[in-house]
Chains A and B, each alone.
Chain A
Amino acid sequence: MNRVAAAAMVVLVEGLVCASGWAQATPAGHLEFADKVRLVNCQPSTTRPGFRAQFNVVDAQGAPLSIEYPPAENLRGLTRIYVDNQELEPFFAVSQATRAEAVRGRVALILVDTSGSMNARMASGQTRFQTAQAALGRFFDTFDEKADRVAIVPFDSHGVERRIRSAQFARSKADALAAVSALPPPQTTNNTAIYSAVVTGLDVLTSQARAVAAPGTASPEMLLVLMTDGKNEVLRGDDPGLLDGAMGLQRAAEAVKASGIQVIGVGFGDPGSIDENAMRQVSTSLFLASNLDQLTQVFSVARTLLTNRIHATFASPFDYLSSLEGRTLRIRASLTLPSGQKFESTEQVWAAPQIGVPAYEGACETDELRTALALVPSGNYLMSLIRPVLVFAGLGTLLLVLWFWVPRLVWADQYVGRVPMKVTSRWDVAGARGRQDQTPRRPAPPGFQTRNVKDAAPRGPSDMTRADFSKSRLQKRPDARDPV
């Protein structure tokens, strides 16, 4: 009886699901943030701070999904941003796939493993290293000399940081291909410092992006590609201080998470020798390849992820920059295609500094400013300037009251009879300026000078304090009247 009832329930639920169209709306892919959500300044169009997000439409494996993007003018209306579950429509959205002029510049760093194991021969007769060199060319197929800056850097376990930090970012396809050809062949003594390479690579990439971006504008798209055939292995004789073990992995994973940069992990060669778990933690997407075709495909995917992003800029739900102090915002995005297919992103967190004041990470560009001017209501600009001054004045006044007025009420006995007067020096010191009368004063005894004491010797126990307590001081003043 129970089985019959359960079967009836399943049929009923399935029927409801089909009737509501839920099953058809289940997305075949999802949106994946390609960078961290950045706070941008959209003044003078609006005082309201803006946020800029970048994402790709990808499948379950993280590879770009082949979809027909809506026209540029419709994209904004089809994109939704959810800030702490509050639905917002971005005031600006653009897909690089439909508008090439939307590209702000691209900076990519490709780290190629040159450990000893890369000398292993493949079925084709080539070594893994030679295969990687051949496949890398695919990444530069659509090289745009106006926008692209790409560096190809070898890494193993020797001179890791030095080599990555001295990376040369190629500005042309020819230079990039030359850099691939110039990669040093792997040495058998080389091990693999994946974690250190990732941490240093992210640092270099961020610095390069900052250098490339014009002051006050948006940072370019960034991508880090990490290609390896093994796992993190640091042994004796390698660079000192290389990250290793669980702590090293944690540090590298945290660096990836904190940077928000898209990191494509490429595991190449024997899948059994690749530390897939670690690679997943130090990358945002991991792809495995075991031959030239697959590796070429992976680099093609990486290139598409870099060049096929959607940018959405939306206004903060809060009026002013200072309104964001102490806030942690949970941000999601969704894109609904004209066909009804809907893609949703996972959650990304934007957090204001724990203690400090939020600062803009970039500025809106001309297109964004233009649309913001038309679409985003502005707060009271004057008020945003005056309010901090008022806060300072208010708190300053409160402190002044607490400093000078409240103590007179609480400890009144200590203030009774105190008349504001010019303080004069007891001793005739050189700096006793401001004294009104010109009465000669006695010199201060040793150790009691209040100024110009640099030349005086320190006062010791044997020093005499020559205070004048003679009777002459007690003598009656000439102008004093006799008591009656």
Chain B
Amino acid sequence: MSLYQTLYFMSLVGGTAGLLSWVLTALVSAVVPGQAVWMADLIATTILGGFIGAFTVAFSDRWSGNRVVTRWVVSGALIGITAGLIAGLVQIPITTRLGATAPVLTRLVAWMLAGSFIGTGLGLRWAQVNRARVAHAAAGGLIGGLLGGMVFVGLGPVIPDLSQALGFVSVGVGICFGVTVAPILLRDGILQFVSSGDPRAQGKFGRTHKEWEIQQGDSYVIGSQNQDFSVSRYRPDIDIFIPDAAIAARHAILFGKEGRFYLARHPSSTDQAALARFPLRVRGKTVVTSLELRDSDDVMVGRTALKFVTKKES
């Protein structure tokens, strides 16, 4: 899946999560009458966070080519719920102070806060790849929340029901778009799938020519380990999963440092047997420890051919 496809589908994931959030929020408000205004907002942000958190994890893992782990989906939902809860609580004093004097601004701030906090929760998943991702996700969520809020505020008085549903959908799209687009816009390089001798990898990525965006400070683990064997609670152990029999469970590490990119063997696959069984080549040279990557380098991982593209001068 190309970067733009990822962006498109992740936005749809957000939109779907937003629509379902709207349905559940409306049902809850119908079932629980007499709730205070702040409680209605708290319920809405919590539900929105839960859906977006769960959906984002489920679909991003699905498209990574690896298995969707229920534990991570639940963790994603819980983190989204927590983020939504915090957003709902933070906006209470703002609403109390500004709600009467600047209603439009207060609504926009409320949506932005919801987007930002939920975005931050989602960004935590990639904190180990690059800590800046958390800030990017927060900023992306903030802008997404602003867009959703503008739709809601702009259409609110015009079309009942539709305006709010559209607001939820927009904020979901905005958050997921914002969270996904930040690393794409800020990318310094791309690792692109070319072809693979393993039919599974070829079947998964051959048609879409899957791309992974890479930016300075990132540290990706390349491997073939099935996520069933992962022990973490929220993030995948393998960032670039390629289902190739000639790729070790944890095969290599791709990282950017001081303006350059490097490909190194993963410490768990540096013994002689692993060197022989799990090939790792750049420009035809076997990588024993690590090697710097340059623009348009051909990378051979197992029986899978990848292409590294960067605008950075080596």
Contact = CB atoms under 8 A, between A and B. Distances in A.
Interface in B40-92: 40-45, 48, 67, 91
Contacts of A210: 34
Interface stretch (A8-16, A187-195, A271-279, A384-392): A384-392
Given A354-B95, A414-B207, A399 B157 contact: no
Contact of B37 (A323, A352, A392, A395): A352
A399 B12 contact: yes
B103 interface: yes
- Count chain B CB atoms within 10 A of each CB in A355, A445, A459, A461 and give the residue with the most: A355
A448 B245 contact: yes
A84 to B, nearest CB: 11
B12 A402 contact: yes
Contacts of B249: 447, 458-461, 463
B274 A461 contact: yes
A355 B21 CA distance: 12
Interface residues of B, number: 74
A358 B37 CA distance: 7
B273 A461 contact: yes
B96 A258 contact: yes
- Count chain A CB atoms within 10 A of each CB in B34, B67, B200, B249 and give the residue with the most: B34
Given A355-B111, A360-B34, A392 B23 contact: yes
Interface stretch (A60-68, A288-296, A324-332): A324-332
Contacts of A449: 226
Interface in A387-416: 387-388, 391-392, 394-396, 399, 402-403, 407, 410-411, 414
Q: Main SS of the interface on chain A?
A: loop
A322 B161 contact: yes
A44 interface: no
B44 A357 contact: yes
Nearest to A463: B249
B8 A326 contact: no
A320 B162 CA distance: 13
Interface string B10-35: 00100110010011011001001111
A132 to B, nearest CB: 32
Interface of B: 2, 5, 8-9, 12, 15-16, 19, 22-23, 25-26, 29, 32-35, 37-38, 40-45, 48, 67, 91, 93, 95-97, 99-100, 103, 106-107, 110-111, 114, 152-153, 156-157, 160-167, 169, 199-200, 207-208, 224-226, 228-229, 245-246, 248-250, 268-269, 271, 273-274, 277-278
